[in-house]
Structure formats: structure tokens, C-alpha cells
A and B are shown apart, each in its own frame.
Chain A
């Protein structure tokens, strides 16, 4: 599951259009757009709003085996041209100095940049970093649910010392739209990584059926999870296994799965 987090609808619109995401009418805490294996949440401006949106959507998708995240938004810069796209490699919270290191750009050469997250808008730009208002809140929250390799923050320059377009919503959408190919290529790479991690978790339905076969203690469940996960990753037939184990006492179920693990790993 890939989650896009944008402060404003105008920042998200090119992504919503590209993936043809549909607005969810079941939720009213945040505007949410859904597609196949993908969601886009509009958090509102500021790091607290962004962190709240991340936590809310992570709770909504808590059954997902793995979540990947992209924070897409605009940023201010001293000298960079409007429309320049950056993948953040360092995010500094201006209030508490906390630093975060999201995954760098992959697949194609989007330049990296540091970014300082401010609580209030400022055009007192520094030459070594971008300014934004969400990235540190995004990192703070998303790191609770996923590893840094599955988290990216992409920023498009909307304001610099000469020109300010951050408040011009159609122009913000146009700047993002200009970069949609690079942005979606980043998303594809992240989805592939996320799928790899998600595939390591066994299907919930089979797992539930396995633990319903007998009354297992928590320790036995922990052991079962390791054994079952290995067999599922080695493409054992879950239906067939469950049928063979049905009616067996719990110790025998564990022993059978252990033997299968040992036999399968003998040849390495």
C-alpha cells in the first residue's frame, strides 16, 4: 500500500488525476482519495496536521502488511528555479532541531536537498536548504509505521527570492504536473520495495485458520508464526497443509510444521 501525503489539494491533484484516484465518501476527518493499492490524503498545512493525517491513515490501514509513504509538496528556496524537483535527504525541524533522513531518490536522478520545516511561513531563505511546513511532521509520524527505506519526501520549488506562487493554487498544480513523470517513477520504485516486504508476511486468512485449529498459548503462536511464515515463503500449499493439520492436537501441529521446515532447509 502506497500512501501519498499532501498538504493541499492543488499539490495532490496531478497525482489524483494520474492514478485516477477516487474520493472516499466514507471518511470525514481528512479528504482521502483511493485507488488500487494506493491512497492520497490531504492533510492541511503544517507539521502537526501532517503528522495527524499520517497517524490517522496508518490506523485505517493497520491490516496492511507494509506501508510505503510519499510526502509530495511545495517548498521555498533561495535561488532554485520554480518547478525544480528535489528528493529530500535530510529534514530538520526548525523548532526542536530534530533531523530525519528519508530514503533518497532512486531510479532517476532527482537531485537531493536538505529541507528545514518551519512552523510559520518565512522567506528568510538559506542557501543550503529548502523551507517547508510539513516534512518533519511527516517523518515523525510515518517512521512509527514504516522503515526509512519506504519513506520519501519530494518537494517542488514554488517560491524563491524573486517569485512566489505558493498561494496560486492552479500554478502549484501546474508545477507539480510538469514533474509528474519523475514523481510517479519514484512511486513505482517504492511500490516494488514495499511489495517485497509485504510478500514476506503470510496471508492473514490462512494464518487465522491455522491458529483456529487448536488452542495455542502465546509462546506456541510465536513459534507457529515463524514456521508458517517460512513455509508460505517457500510456496507450500496452504490449503493442503491446513487440511492435513485439521483435527491434530496442537503439539502435533507444531511438530509437523517443524519437520517440514527442517526437511525443506536441509539442502539449503
Chain B
């Protein structure tokens, strides 16, 4: 007999397109985001393909410099703001956080839906920019090129990013308030899954940093549209002011991108090592530590821009400090794996890939924090390799791991394991072949954002392009077998992984609209792998909850 799939669940609760477009159910909104994110990832990938094709040869044979500038700019803008920043929070955060805290929905469901529409509006602006000619300033919009001299659609592109920033702010606000006010009875802060801690820390960054990006984009638009001098050196302005304001957001932004991935990895490692996370409290505080320290280091992007040397010292020192909480997490995951009973399902492969590749990316980050090294490799392919190791080797792997891990919960069906393992391996090989050569290229002097290069760099570039093709194949494969499994996969049942957590032990696959039949009463710590699935301890579905919070509804801090 196949495991039960609830008659009425969030997927079939209203089948019209209208019911989806006007939903306030966090699970449906998560799927809306899943479609959008996938689209933008593909779009950003297409731009990457253009870049890597051009770089196959040392000469400029595919694109003019102008077009090439637009390619890498669009690649950066789309990947950063329309894929990396939203991905895990809006898809998995939205889907899982209410369930993980034992709630029926987020605190502000309509704001959640608004957040998706705002995201789509920002995306629309960006797609329009793409069609009418693109923007060529680099995703970093440096002045005075962006504010005065560029002949591309800077204002519209900036408007797209401005708008999508608010989507980020709404999501972050929603998560923070939800975690503070909607936790089920007994769900103390230190019983929360680390995924919630990570997304909570991410949300704090989203809320504090994004407004500064918003205002600096407004300033560029004002200078461009009205000729109002703001960053114009001829009128006494300082282009570096832009960089301070921009990087005040954009450095914490990279932590917005990676923290949710770290949260995913904690969940995956705990489940597939079948152990609670070693040093849970340290990992929880490390998430907050990363969020906090991440705000103090932005000047490390400006070591060679004309910033004061003394400011450089301070930022360099603080950049070394921010590596500490990340390292704490890596050590704790490793300690969890040690003596765990490990099973190598696809999500675990992604988690292991994350740990290794993120460590490489992080350590090269430490190298870059040292000013003496940075002055040589700034604006070379070394930097590109560094952040792609973290973002693609780390973050995208975490995203793929999350997608596979929670797919049974979201769809109610199992994906086929062997194609998934194959895809994971292809991705791992393709990734390293693409980006490892770039460390060498950068170290040997190949600048970034150039489409012509000296002949001696060609071999490594060819390797990188070959790797990119393999990586592309790896990313396309899941599209096929995941969609197939949505309709034809084996029914998953509530907990195919024998994981622990409210979403596995108390909710069905796919979950019912209100997530649980009644408010759960939490009496156990997170990752209680030393006991069986609670369903086995407490009997049939209907009897497993302590009903009704009563006067102790949701502890608030």
C-alpha cells in the first residue's frame, strides 16, 4: 500500500491560474518563486554561455567590446539580484519557515504575495533592459561611468534593481516578525532548526543593508537624468562615495546569498549523517556573527580605489575576523560527519560539495583580505574564481541540495535517485573544471571584464569553457527528471528521509493548506536523531498533536 497523500493539499486547493496568482499560502508563493528563479537562473546562464564562448579564443571574434560589457553586466545583475539573493529564502524559506516554527503561515501573507509581484516587476524592467540594448557598467554600477558617461540603459537597470530590493526587504521583514511572534508552544529559540537561524540572520541583513542600495541607485538616476552633480569630481563630488554606499550593501549582500545555503547544509548534514549537528549553539550564534561582522568589512572591495590606507588596514583586519564564524560552521559540520552514519543520496553529495568548495572559496577570500595580495589580484580572474567558488560551488550547490531534499515534501513524490547522483557529479566536475583554471589565470595576471587576452592564457580559458559546458549539462538534467517526477514519481509519504523536524514529522507530503491539523506542541530539541520519527512514538495521524496552544500561544522574545 502506498504512503498516504492527503486528499486536500496545498497543490490542489484551488486549481485555477487565478487561485495561484492571488494565493496568500506561503507554500504556493514559494512555488511561484521557484518558477521565476529558475527562469532567471537560465537567463543568467545564457549570458554566462556568451561570455565563455567569447573567451574560448584570445581575440574578439564573437562580440564587440561594447556587447561583451553588456553580457557580463547582465550576467552579474541577473545572477546576483534575481537568482542568488532570492533563491533559497524565497523558495525554501517561504515554504519551510512557517512549518519549521510550527505556524500556519508567515506573519504577513499578503505582504509575501506582494513581494513576489514586486520581484516580477523588477524582473520585467531587467528583461526590458535586456531587449532594448542592455547596460554595460558592470553589476557594480561604478561612478562616474554609470552616472555620467555610459551610453546604456543605466536608469532602467537601476530601477529594476531598486524595485527588486523591496521584494527582498518585504521577505526579510516577514521572516523576522514570523520567527519572533509565530513560534508554536515549546518552540524555544534554541530548539529551532539551524535553517531558521540562518534565514533569520539573512533577513536582518536584508532589512538593514538593502535600503542603502536603494538610495545610492536613486542618486545615480538623479545624476544621470537631471545632470545633478553627486559623484561628479568636476563639481567637487567623490566617486568613492558611491563605492562606500554601494559596498555597504553589497558586501553584506554576499552574506545574504551564502547564509541560507549554510542553513540548508546544516539540515542536509544532520539528516544524512543521521546525527544532531555538533555544536548547535555555536552554529546558531555564528549565523548572527556573520550577519553582524559582515557589515564591517565592505572597504575590502576598495583597497585599490583611492581609499585611505588606514581605512584599508581596519577593513583588512575586520575581514580576517569575519572568516571566524564561517570557519566555526565548517568545523561543526565536519565534526557532525565524523562518526555519523552517512548515506550518499543526492542532497548529501551537494552538501559535501558545498563544504569543500565553500572552504576553498573562503580561504581564497582570506588571501584577498590581505592587502598585499589583493593589490596584485584585484580585478583579475582570481577574484572571479573566488566568488564563483562561494556562490556557485557553495550557494548553488546548496540550492540544488535543498531542491532535492525537500522535493518529496513539496511535490509529494520522490525524484529518481540515479539521475540525480549523476547530475550532482557532473555539476561537481564541470564546476571545478570551469573555475579552478580561473584562479591560475587571475594569479598570472588575466584581468576580469576583458574579452581579449594574451595567447598564453588560452589553454586555461579553453578548459574553463569546456567545464562550463559540462556544468550547463549538469544544471539542465534536474529540470527534466524533477518535472517528470512531479507527475510520475513514486509517492513519497511524509518522511522518506527519516529526517527530524516539524515539516517531516508533523506535516504530510504535500502539506495540507494550513500545514498541520492542529498547532504542534514542541517538547524536543532540533535534530533529535537519537529517537525515532515521532509518528512512531505517538501513533496515528490524528492523535499525534497536543491540541491547542491556549494561553501559551507562541512565545515572544
| A, B from the same assembly | no
Interface residues of chain B, those whose CB is within 8 Å of chain A, are none
